[in-house]
Structure 1
Amino acid sequence: MNHLFARILLPVSVAILLAGTGVAAHAEVIGSVDTAFILIGPDHKIVVEAYDDPKVAGVTCYVSRAKTGGIKGAIGLAVDKSEASIACRQVGPISFPKPLAQQEEVFNERLSILFKKLRIVRVVDVKRNALVYLTYSDRLIDGSPQNSVTAVPVDRATTIPLK
């Protein structure tokens, strides 16, 4: 019964508590794989999440990252690794409801209960008519040089509108 509580009921209880604190995920989990068995609490895993660009219709970014398990991971106290991989793709017709900034953060998600975030920044490459997406993590005091970058070319017939 203790194992059942640690693996199922404890993570659900923590999720309900965190939902009331404004900690919200901006991603859709596409899948995950376990990387290490943990006796008490969820296993360590790699998760793959999809982020639809809120300002560019037809572009989705897929991010894979490590998620720490165990008791600390179950209650939100674990600090996930500062490594992520990103691949953004055109998944439909690309359109721009509003002009874009030359560079702006389009997503961020907490990786720990305190201070650490995964960030995705979009940069417009005007010369090549492409959208470049960069993912990295940062902390209040120091970030990580680990990063990943991807680009989505936009049809030459479509001009990317800038602010």
Structure 2
Amino acid sequence: MKHFAHATALAACLALPAAAEQVGEVGVDWVGNDIIIDAIQDPKVEGVTCHIAYFDRSLIDRLSQGNWFEDPSNASIACRQTGPIKVGDIDLSEDGEQVFRESRSIILKSLRIKRIFDEPNQTLIYLVHAQELTEGSAKMSISTVPLYGATLAD
């Protein structure tokens, strides 16, 4: 039993990619296209939740418009403090680190959230963008969370 407790604690400490939980769905037309809203908890920053909204193509739209295996790159993000903020061991580089990734096509495109720490302003920046293998996309959205009185990892 003692080994199980240590293994569970170890697993909890390892940073896993954030998981999205669908919290909303808005129908936008008669063919069944929807806007999906997901909540994503930052796995390394306790007390921060991001909400992303993105377009989800229906079967009818895929059949009539072609481009069967791909969803649009558009996404919007809003991140807020949802509890006491405790910052874990985050990447402090200018490139930041990936918090979330979801495929938007079979192979070539993914929707990603990156976290970047703006140290001079004590602010976390969350950027949602599409990453494509063959060509980049200028479609992006950012949100910031100030770290007033937050606990930072040593």
Q: Same fold (TM over 0.5)?
A: yes
Which residue does the alignment assign to 1:106? 99
Cα distance in structure 2, aligned partners of 1:153 and 1:118: 24
State the identity as a percent.
39
More strand by share: 2
* One-letter amino acid matched to 1:154: L
1:141 positional shift: 0.5
Distance 1:53 1:62 in 2: 11
- 1:68 and 1:78 in contact (8 A); partners too: no
Code of the aligned partner of 1:101 = D
1:130 to 2:123 alignment: yes
Q: Residue deviations 1:108-136, cap 9 Å, x none?
A: 00112222100000000101111000000
Q: Which amino acid aligns with 2:89?
A: P
Deviation string 1:32-66 (CA, Å, 9 cap, x unpaired) is: 1111222xxxx111010011000000000000011
Between the aligned partners of 1:161 and 1:145, the Cα distance in structure 2 is 33
Q: Which runs of 5+ in 1 are unaligned?
A: 1-24
Inter-partner Cα distance in structure 1 for 2:111 and 2:137: 10
- Give the 4+ runs in structure 1 shifted more than 3 A: 157-162
Equivalent position to 2:28, from 35, 38, 57: 35
Q: d(CA) in 2 for partners of 1:66 and 1:99? A: 33
What is the aligned counterpart of 1:84 among 75, 87, 98? 75
Alpha-carbon offset, residue 161 of structure 1: 4.3
- Deviation, 1:78, is 3.4
SS at match of 1:36: coil
Deviations 1:68-112 (A, max 9, x none): 111548xxx43111111000000000002x321021111100112
Among residues 49, 55, 59, which one is paired with 1:70 in the alignment? 59
SS at match of 2:28: strand
> What value does the CA root-mean-square deviation take over the aligned residues?
2.1
Number of equivalenced pairs: 130
Give the counterpart letter for 1:100 in structure 2: I
Asked whether the 8 Å contact 1:26–1:109 carries over to 2, the reply is no
Unaligned runs of 5+ in 2: 1-17
The aligned counterpart of 1:115 is 108
Q: Distance in 1 between matches of 2:150 and 2:24?
A: 33
State TM-score, norm by structure 2: 0.77
| Aligned with residue 59 of structure 1, among 36, 41, 48 | 48
Residue 145 (structure 1) aligned with residue 134 (structure 2): no
- Residue pair 2:86, 2:151 contacting (<8 A) in 1 also: no
Q: How many angstroms apart in 2 are the aligned matches of 1:158 and 1:109? A: 29
